[in-house]
Amino acid sequence: MLGTDYVTSEATNTPVFYVVPVILAAWYSGMWSAVGLAIAVPVFRLLFLVMPRGADNMATLALATAFRGVVITFFALWFARLAEFERALERRVKVLEGLLPICSFCKNIRNDNGEWERMEAYISRRTEAEFSHGICPSCSDKHYPGMV
């Protein structure tokens, strides 16, 4: 990425060369590594461009580097937040994933310890769900005939 800037001159803006590694760092390594990379890459770019060519327009180059660093840091924070949200969502989905051994008659569920417990207690412990009980029309007709 720095080599591309050197060959094409500092006037060429190629932010994708900076944003992609920062996004990958944010997604896989977390916020702080992405922010560090988002700050380091523009600074190294500035040093790489100033050293061999001289500092005839140093103020403009420093201002452009600062702006680039802010934009890339914004992307780093945004994707780090997005990655954390995705991981939290994945953890939440995995809570009740797979097959549950459930009794055909009483609807109790066998937990990880091999003990049978009420379905409501099992699900309440693993989710934020709350239960409200009622009687469906077919059970009402079967168990309480004549009551309306």
Going by their DSSP bridges, the two strands 116-117 and 109-110 should be labelled as: antiparallel
pTM confidence score: 0.49
Which pLDDT value is given to residue 6?
A: 46
Which pLDDT value is given to residue 3?
A: 52
Whole-angstrom distance, CA of residue 96 vs CA of residue 146: 39
Which pLDDT value is given to residue 117?
A: 93
CB 73 within 8 A of CB 35: yes
Whole-angstrom distance, CA of residue 57 vs CA of residue 132: 71
State the 10-residue block means of pLDDT for the chain, 148 residues long. 48 64 83 84 76 66 79 84 88 69 88 89 83 85 82
